[in-house]
Amino acid sequence: MALREVKVCLLGESGVGKSSIVQRFVHDTFKPALESTIGASFMSKTLTVDEKTYKYQIWDTAGQEKYRALAPMYYRGAAAAVIVYDVTNESSFGVLKDWIKELQRHGPQEIVIAIAGNKCDLADLREVQYKDALAYAEQTNAIFVETSAKNATNVSEMFEAICRKLPDE
């Protein structure tokens, strides 16, 4: 059976949990004190969805502002982008909207976009409401999930949903 390679990049403000989501997806682990990413890091992971096998080529970008100009190198030619915000940090949701706009203007035409509201385990600290993010995602035709890299909530489910939404080759 053919293996479909899927280039995906993760974008979003520093500290929202992009690297933690990738760690959870690829190694099924979580580190409470992860170092901030420098430039970008690369990992791959194979998974089977609906009897088809996909090999994710994952570019985990650095969220710090000084690396912002590098992002086009990672979303160029990508089949999918995961834009992450932190449900306990309203400003990270604003940064997410900027990334969506940038992808709509400069990203690949058929890119599948997934919005991940991460750290949903921190219910008491929530600043971004589920329904508000869902309404925004529907308006932008993006997949939407709330995730917890810490508790493994919806992480693999999100990558599976992306596979299902990829256009036919």
Query: Interface residues with Mg ion (CB under 5 A)?
Result: 18-19, 37
48 vs 46: CA distance, rounded Å:
7
- Of 80 and 163, nearer to Mg ion (C-beta) is 80
Q: Shortest gap between Cβ of 14 and ligand GTP (angstroms)?
A: 3
Cβ atoms of 38 and 70 within 8 Å: the answer is no
The token pair that represents 26 in the structure block: 């690829």
107 vs 78: CA distance, rounded Å:
8
**Contact between 18 and ligand GTP (CB under 6 A)?**
yes
**Contact between 14 and ligand GTP (CB under 6 A)?**
yes
The token pair that represents 150 in the structure block: 């810490």
- Of 30 and 166, nearer to ligand GTP (C-beta) is 30
Q: Shortest gap between Cβ of 117 and Mg ion (angstroms)?
A: 17
45 vs 97: CA distance, rounded Å:
28
Taking 3-state DSSP, the helix, strand and coil percentages for the chain, each rounded to the nearest 5, stand at: 35, 30, 35
Binds ligand GTP by CB under 6 A, chosen from 9, 11, 20, 80: 20
Three-state DSSP state, 168 = coil
CB under 5 to 8 A by kind: which of Mg ion, ligand GTP, none does 89 bind? none
Binds ligand GTP by CB under 6 A, chosen from 7, 9, 11, 17: 17
**Contact between 92 and ligand GTP (CB under 6 A)?**
no
Contacts of 114 (CB under 8 A, 6+ apart): 80, 81, 82, 83, 142, 143, 144, 145, 158, 161, 162
**Contact between 148 and ligand GTP (CB under 6 A)?**
yes
**Contact between 16 and ligand GTP (CB under 6 A)?**
yes
Residues 99-138 that bind ligand GTP (CB under 6 A): 118-119, 121-122
Binding-site ranges for ligand GTP (CB under 6 A): 12, 14-20, 31-34, 36-37, 62-64, 118-119, 121-122, 148-150
